Chain A
């Protein structure tokens, strides 16, 4: 997928901001759902295209990478898998580790679970404290188990992207994301500029910070394992902006939630 980075939101900061939010309405706040970087992959999806931006005009063009990166076009499967690990797996660092075949069995079980419906029972992954360290040690196994680019192209909610997005829809999406984050969920969103194809990407939102002017959403970008990105929602314009990244010059985008309900 074509697709971004900013700053690191540490857990204590998020907790402190939640405390501030509880102390007074209107104050900046954030609710921690998924943790970054602990609950995301240690490796990144690589882009098929090499992106170039003209600094003066902001015009963007791209050329094909040669040779093609071996692990690419996987933003959708990676975002989905991060959610699956978040809702379906539990890491037990003190438990004795398994061999490669044992881990493969567990990873396949997590990947086969329904990302739309969390289950009460969780698959226990022994020997590691979190997904970050597990994926650093077993990156090849996870890359092999992740579904291919087809699962992004055939994502159930793709029908929505061809229809226009009203400002009211984007405002409702913002409220929905804030509500879900407060409930500890990790919403996956499809970010796009259709009919332009300069951005068509899937990311996992994990925290929000509100100010009088904006709501800033912190998200895991499968294209960047090192740092999260910040999606800014302008309260008056009622639109989201995506930051400048190596693959996108930055600017307004539209988004909707996927892996949510039977239509998306």
Chain B
């Protein structure tokens, strides 16, 4: 029973302290999908359906692939007084041909280097120019899941060593 408790405490400690091997593995498996060019849009109800080209990159920003995606943006979420991209309600859809009334669009590239492309919809029902990063999606590479138990075991073994040395680094360091 006591051994069981110790194992549980060790496991909780490893989780709570965000073990570096598990965490870096999990982080390294992140895949980022970012809209680069908007191809088509249509309006249906209170949603704007968009077809766009997305660039897939790893967590270090290295491009891996390009793909075509579709998403629906709630127009109501765009009407907020102080709209920011993270407040947009976006639903990713798989339908190949979005229904609704087609609307003319254009893709704008901002002057600031690295800033996301902007979707401009030439229709008065869409209240603002939509920042392209509302379509950003984070996924995980599937290879990470079978490796997680192993990484967790490594963390269980190494975490006490790190915890032992961390106070030393804080005391000695400036």
Q: Are B114 and A26 in contact (CB under 8 A)?
A: no
Complex formed: what's the CA distance from A44 to B118 in Å? 36
Chain A proximity mask over B141-173: 1 for CB below 8 Å, otherwise 0: 000000000000000000000100010011011
Partner of B134, one of A6, A214, A236: A236
Does A243 contact B113, Cβ atoms closer than 8 Å? yes
State A163–B113 Cα separation when bound (angstroms): 29
A-side interface mostly: loop
- Given contact pairs A26-B82, A212-B131, A232-B112, A154 touches B172 in the complex (Cβ within 8 A): yes
Cβ–Cβ contact B32 & A237, under 8 A: yes
Q: Are A235 and B20 also in contact (CB < 8 A) when A154-B173, A244-B113 are?
A: no
B114 touching A156, Cβ below 8 Å: no
- State the CA gap A252–B174 with chains docked (Å): 27
Contact A164 B24 (CB under 8 A): yes
Q: Which residues 85-144 in B have Cβ within 8 Å of A in the complex?
A: 85-86, 88, 112-116, 118, 128, 131-134, 136, 138
A232 to B172, CA, bound (A): 33
Contact B20 A25 (CB under 8 A): no
Q: How far is the CB of B68 from chain A (nearest CB, A)?
A: 20
Taking the closest CB of chain A, its distance from the CB of B112, in whole angstroms, is 7
Report the count of interface residues on A (CB-CB < 8 A): 42
Q: How many A-B residue pairs have CB under 8 A?
A: 102
Determine if B3 is an interface residue (Cβ-Cβ < 8 Å). Answer: no
| Closest partner residue, chain B, to A215 (CB atom) | B84
A47 to chain B, nearest CB (A): 21
Tell me the residues in window 4-31 of chain A with beta carbons closer than 8 Å to chain B beta carbons. Answer: 6, 24-26
- What separation, in Å, do the CA atoms of A24 and B17 have in the docked complex? 41
Closest B residue by C-beta to A152: B174
A252 to B128, CA, bound (A): 27
Q: Is the CB of A234 within 8 A of B172?
A: no
Report which of B23, B86, B114, B138 forms a contact with A241, defined as CB distance below 8 A.
B114
CA distance A238 to B138 in the complex (A): 10
Task: List the B side residues contacting A147 at CB < 8 Å.
Answer: 174
Known: A159-B166, A164-B27, A213-B131. A237 touches B60 (CB 8 A): no
Given contacts A164-B24, A234-B136, contact A156 B85 (CB under 8 A): no
Q: Pick the contact of A235 from B17, B85, B138, B174 — CB < 8 Å?
A: B85
Chain B residue nearest in CB terms to A238: B86
Name, among A165, A235, A244, the residue most crowded by chain B CB atoms within 10 Å (CB to CB): A235
Contact B20 A163 (CB under 8 A): yes
B2 within 8 A of partner (CB)? no
A213 touches B114 (CB 8 A): no
A235 close to B133 (CB less than 8 A): yes
Give the interface of B toward A (CB within 8 A).
Answer: 17-18, 20, 23-24, 26-27, 32, 34, 59-62, 81-86, 88, 112-116, 118, 128, 131-134, 136, 138, 162, 166, 169-170, 172-174
Residues in A lying within 8 Å of B, measured CB to CB: 6, 24-26, 58, 147, 151, 154-159, 162-167, 193, 195-196, 211-214, 216, 230, 232, 234-238, 241, 243-244, 250-252, 262-263
